Amino acid sequence: MAVEPERKACGYSRRDFGRLTAGAAAALLAGGSGAATTRAAGAIDVHHHLLPPFYKPHAEPWLARFATNLDEVLAWTPEHSLAAMDAAGVESAILSISAPGVDFGAATADMARRCNDYAAALARDHPGRFRFFAALSVSDPNGAIAEARRTLDEAGAAGIGLLSSYDGRYLGDPAFSPLLAELDRLEALVYVHPTMARCCAGLVADVADPLIEFPVDTGRTISSLLWSGALSRYPRIRWIFSHGGGIFPMVAERVAAMGFIRPDLRARVPEEPVAALARLHVDTASVTNHPAMAALRAWLPPERILFGTDYPWGSPERSLASLARLGLPPDLLSAIRRSNALRLLAGTRGSRDS
């Protein structure tokens, strides 16, 4: 069923959504075989974007400057997502707004709410196929907190979606502390997608900026969260970072060395940097290749790696095929494709409030 451009009512109580989530989880558990095949049932895509029709005109100028594959991306519809999922054997996708986010000056006021209500309607119309990470307008800190509460408590969001940086400020910046404190109180699942740092557009000729700068911006924001002490102060936030954590698997040891250089920073991370970082989750979008996966497996415990496609920029079918070609142990492949995400989603507020 096609969804209208906008839905005003979200329609789920916590109890109703908990029952729906439990049913979807049972269906996923029943459907997966664990075999190393691109069409194995039950894959869960945690990195899957939506572009509501009313959102596209606002995002297009930014996308035209920085994004690849623009025509296909702007042609996105829910039906396109479902067709791509069906072709690959992806059972469920968690929808999110990608860069440039929802802050568009005068149009910002209700953009986050409109996108979230649209996503909630998709989840209601396609139970078991779609969930969503709620978008927030961080230019209005109080509004962002209110929208986080509304979407997690009333609209059935699986979690909150943030960008890696906003106007040059990374997520460990004190400006974001009130929001992070509330997300910690809510025990929220927080998905972080990279964006372009304002410093770094056009540095390499003939290379689309996001191909290099997105992974770097992810590394910057993880570093910011670590050494600001935010990962330690807000331990109940469960973080997912896109694209395998960006550059971070390669620079984790270098970033952790700041604790030896600056004892004042080291005091902000009482559990040790390695332990704080080991709590993070990452998705596999654009890192289903041997060097990247080797780095991920060396950096994080296997249960922290989740399947992601970056649709409509990425392809679910190609993503699963690339993952299968890595020759991972069958139990690890099955965990990445489905069970790691299923376990993480079981801890979301909608699932717990049944």
Average of per-residue pLDDT across 94-118: 92
Judged against a pLDDT cut of 70, whether residue 23 lies above it is answered with no
Closest alpha carbon to 249 in 280, 191, 295:
295
Token pair for 301 = 């415990």
Which domains, from first to last, does the chain contain? Answer: 14-352 (3.20.20.140)
Distance of CA 327 to the CA centre of its chain: 25
pLDDT, one tens digit per residue, over 203-244 is: 998 999 999 999 999 999 999 999 999 999 999 999 999 999
Query: CB neighbours of 302 closer than 8 A, spacing ≥ 6?
Result: 332, 335, 336, 340
| Total H helices, total E strands in the chain | 18, 10
Confidence of residue 41 (pLDDT cuts 50, 70, 90): low
Confidence of residue 105 (pLDDT cuts 50, 70, 90): confident
Q: In the prediction, which pLDDT does 68 show?
A: 79
Maximum C-alpha span of the chain: 57
Judged against a pLDDT cut of 90, whether residue 17 lies above it is answered with no
